[in-house]
Amino acid sequence: MERVDPSALRWLIGVELTHYRKLSGRPQSEVAKVLGISAGMVAHFEVGRYFPSPDQIARMLGFYGAPAHDVERLSWLAGRADDHSWLARWSDVIPDWLKTFIGLEGLASHVVTYAPLVLNALVQTREYSTGVTESSARVRADQVERLVGLRMERQELVHRAENPVHLTMLLEESVLDRPIGGDNAREVMRDQLAHLLELGKRDNIEILLLPTAIGRHDGLEGKFTLLHFRDPDGQPQAQSIVYVEIPDNSVYIQDQRQVAQYTRNADQLRDAALSESKSATAIKKRLAAYD
């Protein structure tokens, strides 16, 4: 089942509209005259506060000189929204910046993530997730169970039968040696390692280990997630975006030159990492130590 969050769609379309307007060199005031609306409303469209209608999207992109296929693509993207967000149940426990990311994650076709400290939410077991969340100073004790439940719901993206998200997780070796789970860490880590091995058998999941022995590499600058948006035929639906989480906030990198640099960084990390089979062997060796 596809899960689409309207607020994330508005944000993504706004990014695209801003991109094309800036390429055309048109100010928001000129766009407003073409549409017969205020410049403030154009700004609202661009930051994802409101949805433009398909006709407004077509007129804006036509004014910017965007190719016809991009007009069709963005109109199609807008048509995927409905009035209900599957994230509504968690609206009181997740900030807007995280809600936007989770919504974008649900729209992505390929998620590339660099994990230097803990495992990505999409591969965590419930017990590992609880251990990570309980120890966080940013999470209230009464919200732990609900946030863990949200992470488990997010994992449907990689398990669904039709068009599952492709996940590439670039994982620091040290993450596997960091005990999570307090007094139950041994059991939690054993189950988590076994879970990783099972996930690695799926065609849509790559788990690539970065050995500590390789020393310094570009990923050490900090964790990041790269989101690609393509249709089942491999055609772009929207521009790729980089998500960087910082304490109590996040940064969304939309400039395509910067996105291209992160893409190169991810490729370099992939080159430095162990192969999937050797990564699995390294995980098995750690799992055997718990027997």
Residue-wise pLDDT for 25-61, tens only, equals: 999 999 999 999 999 999 999 988 888 888 888 899 9
Question: Sorting pLDDT into bands at 50, 70 and 90, what band is 249?
Answer: confident
Dist CA 196 CA 199 (whole Å): 5
pLDDT at 235: 75
Q: Averaged over 188-217, what is the pLDDT?
A: 92
Domain 91-288 has CATH 3.30.70: no
Q: Where are the alpha helices (DSSP H) in 164-240?
A: 173-176, 185-199
Dist CA 10 CA 7 (whole Å): 5
Is 39 in contact with 32 (CB distance < 8 Å)? yes
Q: Which run of H or E residues covers position 270?
A: helix 256-272
Q: Phi first, then psi: what are they for 273, rounded to 5°?
A: -75, 160
76 vs 206, residue with greater confidence: 206
Question: Sorting pLDDT into bands at 50, 70 and 90, what band is 2?
Answer: low
Is 262 in contact with 224 (CB distance < 8 Å)? yes
- pTM, two decimals, is 0.79
Among residues 111, 290, 281, which one has the least CA distance to residue 211?
A: 281
Is 291 in contact with 201 (CB distance < 8 Å)? no
Provide the angle, in degrees to the nearest 10, between the axes of the packed helices 6-24 and 54-64.
20
If DSSP states are collapsed to H, E and C, what string results for 68-79? HHHHHHHHHHHC
Whether the pLDDT of residue 87 is over 80: the answer is: no
Token pair recorded at residue 176: 């596997």
pLDDT at 82: 58
Task: State the CATH class of domain 6-78.
Answer: mainly alpha
Token pair recorded at residue 247: 């304490």
Half-sphere exposure of 6 (CA within 13 A, CB side): 11
Do 6-78 and 91-288 share a fold? no
Dist CA 132 CA 180 (whole Å): 7
CA angle in degrees (0–180, nearest 5) for 25-227-155? 150
Residue carrying the six token digits 């017990």 = 127
Domain ranges of the chain: 6-78, 91-288
Residue 275: helix, strand or coil by DSSP? coil
Residue 239: helix, strand or coil by DSSP? strand
Question: Sorting pLDDT into bands at 50, 70 and 90, what band is 85?
Answer: low
Q: Phi first, then psi: what are they for 41, rounded to 5°?
A: -70, -35
Q: State the chain's mean pLDDT as an integer.
A: 88
